[in-house]
Structure 1
């Protein structure tokens, strides 16, 4: 029997009895959407339903009646033919496991009625399901560290095609060069849930064009250069509002990690709120202006310095932006103030041609945002310029020597200075909604989850914040004593959301941020309220965190609290 559970403020998880039931329910909700429904993420035995508001989520959970039987909708189902050379490394082993000859495996695979079930760990990777499939084989006992792009594999009763080189434990039976994920095509994904797939055995493959990965900054014309990157610090990325509602392609939401801070930087310089900005991790960014520019810096507390032209010219020729002449810079140097100026955050300021802005180490918070009046020019990939660190989509991370051009977007008047947004201290409280897999843990574990102090690990990133206990539990054993499961079964992959708190076997929770995978296979004990996620994104390593359980039905929800984080970015 299916059940509906809340999954954060604006998502509901429907448990199904089988993959077939999940696919039928996905088809039903696709053709008959509920009020406020904005996205569906089918998975192995669940359907995740995303809504526009917490109110519509609650209405769905309390009033939706699961259909007893879902009839297939009339209409044409698109079929993709995948030409495949069946020479995989595991073909012989699969044949032995299935009790077939190698040709028998090929005949079974090409003869099965495959359907695209749901997206997987990377853009363009899809789990394929066939009711008549007889090739039910286990994953490899020792996963490969690198499975080549185009490899066709089997795992359990499912089949799949790797869109890019990545680690994997599937049994490989063949290869194809079908463009599973190609950002130059529209749409970039060859498949999506609901389609049919027909594998066709061939002796050889016709070569196709390889995807270009040229750095866009190297293509900037000298006369368009506004800023040069002298040093990106630990990491500086271009981010905008991200890619919401593309989970059906396996694409993470990505976008601003601290959306309010990024949007405030844009507001201060007169930009539209979702204009691309620079997201700098921990300080250390140094940029020099090739033209007069108006900037604003928000987010993490950093000590910034603007070095005048005279001093910049004396230091490693840093005022010379490009080979396209420096006469104007030299003239400006004659009148420039010889003393460095201190940056005032949350205040728009001018960076004159030849001046250098340097951000020191972050003294509070983790991520600083730099907005340019008119916006940064950046190539959009899958509807966004944001760098997705999980899937390597979007503008490349900045490197020393990169040139940044302006987008010359419409901008209104610059704003008056604003009050800095709050940043996390040494101790932070995060509000959470339990579920949808809180019933996989003991009552004591649920108590430990909200009473224990957790600490941000050094291994945290934009994909997720990894937590360890602030104090290890006394007695024998490890951290899993704090979060002990009552259900130790393997959880079939299911849809994930920003703020979801997964608990892997080592018992150390991972809170998903904007670059999280669209599906996951560890139980989610709770999820962080969207309004609290910006503080988590600003939490440096060693920050202590305590979770506080809240009841969504009793929350006084503001508009910014009730919608998904990435939907807020598009408001």
Structure 2
């Protein structure tokens, strides 16, 4: 696959179509895990990269894109497609003098999942921009007209308005005039769903004065609809969250509404103009809530009698929403989750229950069903049916009306309970997963909750459950005396629970260049311990201090498995419910196959981090790193 250079209309000195962007500088591409690439471009021009990646075939090949002020994190569904993306972006860079050859792409390190796939094998379709212009090069001629700015009414009466006037040295009226007269453009989303960062282009006379740092003391809670400024940007708080920006006004525009399609009011690259008004009709004072579960509850159900904190419903995840500040979520230990579904014959990604440290009790009101096959994988919690212990919990039969109880597992953290046919609850943005950080999806399970049971007729006929569904097997399993899991499956599940020192593999990048040789050695030679600060969002490791790269950076996209270095110098590894963006350096990304080890590691478990693959730099301007 090759791409032409910029069209003549965008060459230096040539006239450009009205509204078309200037040509960005050459792209710099950094490794961000097995499936991710961090794309550096000009500040405030990342929407051009997002537009390029929204075209065919990349829209189907990408799992997520996360734009920030000067970077875009692109995460592909398959690691095999990374070399093709690198080649395409390198040849699409407006300053690249020639396309990157397939031979150069094949030289990328293969040990980290980059297997040198030939980009031409993806077909001959040529990506086009989402504007329909057909230009494949970044900075190519866009549509001749750009939509008018979205107008948002604001009452400029924020509690920090007078302080902003004093700090900037501008009269209050001039602050309002400068902000409402400026052009604002959505740069990226992060921090919370629908939380848009708008780059504010103030008039020259006001720009330096209003580029204020954040407040020294953040507020604990800020009302939805609050308009705030800091660092030459504007944000509108979509829900009741903490924040340290200067509040200058309020609006009734709903930035995030799950009953709207799409739920985000704004999009990356969109222009906004704030219109001063004296009164609003419906100023929001609450965070948006998840729509109520409207499913039919007349069918078979699993009634929850007891649950510890951390029991949630998880399916394959919520893809396609990261650009709006919503992470994929899904199971923390994907291998154990997949195994549980495979054992009962469910399709991949079928919703199951993630149980943290056991403590779940439930009754299957199966209606006309005689019962259901269930599987428990991950942390080996002891299982009883009507107080009778189940000998092997990898696959067991649960008769209708039987009381199922999960005790505390002796090792590990998270168990996965899959039911033939799956559990069913309301979908939010296409997924049943509970995102504990964003508060999306069904609430964590508690006593009194009920989950519908899906239709088991579609289970895989070759699965252990389907091949063992005889009356004799069912009766034996119901008595807790038999299970039908294969030895290979059981052994594979057991190996994923770390007890003693555990090696976790990772790839360098995207910000590994910030590390000194000493800190690289500290990161990879130290024995780390899992701290008590561990949940579905991430795991903090404690032990040595890695100091050279810690500290603030401009916000960048974060991939699952990212190894971030906060100011403390103790690494944080992000798991399924990680934030979409962050402002501390990410120096590596844990390989997907080893993420489950950290999800199952209890506080005190020792961990060694072992790098695989090459350096984090993939492409710099006109050169592909080999």
Give deviations 1:277-312, integer Å, cap 9, x for gaps: 11100111111232343122121111111116xxxx
Q: Aligned partners of 2:241 and 2:86: how far apart in 1?
A: 38
Aligned match of 1:335: none
2:427 is equivalent to residue 374 of structure 1: no
CA distance in 2, matches of 1:542, 1:126: 38
CA distance in 2, matches of 1:131, 1:28: 24
Do the aligned partners of residues 287 and 220 (structure 1) sit closer, same or farther apart at CA in structure 2, a change above 3 Å counting? farther
Shift of 1:234: 3.1
**Number of the residue aligned with 1:114:** 184
How do 1:490-529 and structure 2 match up within 5 A? 490-529=552-591
Say if 2:371 is the partner of 1:293.
yes
Distance of aligned partners of 1:344 and 1:396 in 2 relative to their CA distance in 1, 3 Å threshold: same
Report deviation, 1:144. 0.9
Please point out which of 5, 22, 40 is paired with 2:46: 22
Matched, 1:403 2:403: no
* Gaps in structure 1 of 5+ consecutive residues: 309-339, 470-478, 554-571
C-alpha displacement of 1:104: 1.4
The match for 2:107 is none
Partner of residue 158, structure 2: 88
> 1:473-488 maps to which residues of 2 (within 5 A)?
479-480=544-545, 483-485=546-548
- Map 1:339-418 to 2 at 5 A: 340-342=388-390, 344-353=392-401, 355-408=402-455, 410-412=457-459, 413=461, 414-415=465-466, 416-418=484-486
Q: How many residues align?
A: 507
1:410 to partner: Cα distance: 4.8
Q: TM-score scaled by structure 2?
A: 0.76
**1:328-376 CA deviation, whole Å, 9 max, x = no partner?**
xxxxxxxxxxxx24252221412331x2111111112211111122222
Counterpart Cα distance in 1 of 2:84 and 2:296: 53
**Partner of 1:472 in structure 2?**
none
CA distance in 1, matches of 2:275, 2:219: 26
Match of 1:73 in 2: 142
> 1:98: Cα distance to partner?
2.6
TM-score (norm 1): 0.83
* Distance in 2 separating the partners of 1:23 and 1:60: 17
Match of 2:78 in 1: 53
Q: Paired residue for 1:547? A: 609
Q: Which moved more, 1:70-79 or 1:207-216?
A: 207-216
Mapped to 1, the partners of 2:68 and 2:297 lie a distance apart of: 48
1:155 Cα deviation from its structure 2 partner: 1.1
Superimposed CA distance per residue, residues 122-151 of structure 1 (whole angstroms, 9 cap, x where no aligned partner): 000011013345231111011111111111
CA displacement at 1:409 relative to structure 2:
6.3
Partner of 1:101: 171
Q: Distance in 2 between matches of 1:446 and 1:54?
A: 25
Q: Helix, strand or coil: the match of 2:335?
A: helix
Say which SS state the counterpart of residue 409 (structure 2) adopts: strand
CA–CA distance in 1 between the matches of 2:343 and 2:63? 31
Structure 1 residues 240 and 425: alpha-carbon distance in aligned structure 2, compared to 1, 3 A threshold: same
Separation in 1, partners of 2:171, 2:57: 46
- Structure-2 separation of matches of 1:458 and 1:237: 20
Task: Name the CA distance, whole Å, in 2 between partners of 1:513 and 1:25.
Answer: 26
- Distance in 1 of aligned mates of 2:94 and 2:590: 31
Flag the 1:143–1:431 CA change in 2: closer, same or farther, 3 A. same
Distance 1:215 1:367 in 2: 27
Is the contact made by 1:216 and 1:378 (CA closer than 8 Å) also made in structure 2? no
Q: Could you tell me how far apart the structure 2 residues matched to 1:508 and 1:29 are?
A: 34
Kept after mapping to 1: 8 A contact 2:551/2:567: no
Partner SS, residue 379 of structure 2: strand
Name the counterpart of 1:160. 235
Distance 2:288 2:416 in 1: 29
2:593 to 516, 531, 534: 531
Quick check: 1:137 aligned with 2:212?
yes
CA distance in 2, matches of 1:541, 1:532: 17
Q: Give the gaps of 5 or more residues in structure 2.
A: 1-24, 96-137, 467-483, 616-626
Equivalent in the alignment of 1:314: none
Distance 1:267 1:54 in 2: 23
Asked if structure 1 preserves the Cα contact closer than 8 Å seen for 2:228 and 2:236, the reply is yes
Change (3 A) 1:402 1:54: closer
CA distance 1:88–1:535, shift in 2 (3 Å): same
| Superposed displacement of residue 77, structure 1 | 3.1
- Give the corresponding residue for 2:522: 448
